[in-house]
Amino acid sequence: MAKRKLQEINAGSMADIAFLLLIFFLVTTTMESNYGIRRKLPPPPAADTPPPPKIKKKNVLEININGQDQMLIEGDLAQDKDIKPLAIKFITNNGKDPNMSDNPQKAIISIKHTRETTYKKYISVYNELLAAYNEIRNKYARQKFGKPFDQLTEEQQKIVKDAYPQKIAESMPK
């Protein structure tokens, strides 16, 4: 057989093939951003758990939500936007107002809701409470370390967290 010169494969259509694949992946890609509110559940009750200590009523900010998504804070009708200022005032009271918390370590926020309360209402309330805590912690972090809370080291964050612990209790009456 005569020696034939090896023909080169035309690679001109390679780009087309690659484009085809590219468009396929472009279309199927969902840059799924996954955001959410973090929460740590209380551990399951053990048999030998001591009864909860008596808590003074003034150290508890009571939030009640009924099945129609109406909300009472300490017995007064309130809207979502009222939560944050009220919570900040309550947590940072430090004994000034005799009807509010003695100090931030003792301040507890209690959320009571029913089975019919909608999830969106719960998330809204929860979000506003977190906003209140975040604002307080940021302010404290700026004062003490000159930086917002997110930029602190782990130990520094712990100091801030201990100064303003998040105490949110949830219950659903049967």
Only segment of 37-45, 93-101, 139-147, 155-163 that touches another protein (CB under 8 A): 37-45
Class of residue 130 by CB neighbours under 10 A (exposed 0-12, middle 13-18, buried 19+): middle
Does residue 118 belong to the site contacting another protein (CB under 8 A)?
Answer: yes
Q: Is 2 an interacting residue with respect to another protein (CB under 8 A)?
A: no
Identify which of residues 138 and 156 has a Cβ nearer to another protein in the complex. 138
CB of 153 to another protein, least distance (A): 18
Does residue 79 bind another protein (CB under 8 A)?
Answer: no
Q: Buried b vs exposed e over 70-88: b needs ≥16 C-beta within 10 Å?
A: ebebeeeebeeeebbebbb
**DSSP 8-state assignment for residue 152:** S
The one-letter amino acid at 151: Q
Those residues whose C-beta lies under 8 Å from the C-beta of residue 154, and which sit 6 or more positions away, are none
Scanning 29-37, 52-60, 101-109, 154-162 for contacts with another protein by CB under 8 A, the matching segment is 29-37
137 binds another protein (CB under 8 A): no
Q: Is 47 in the site for another protein (CB under 8 A)?
A: no
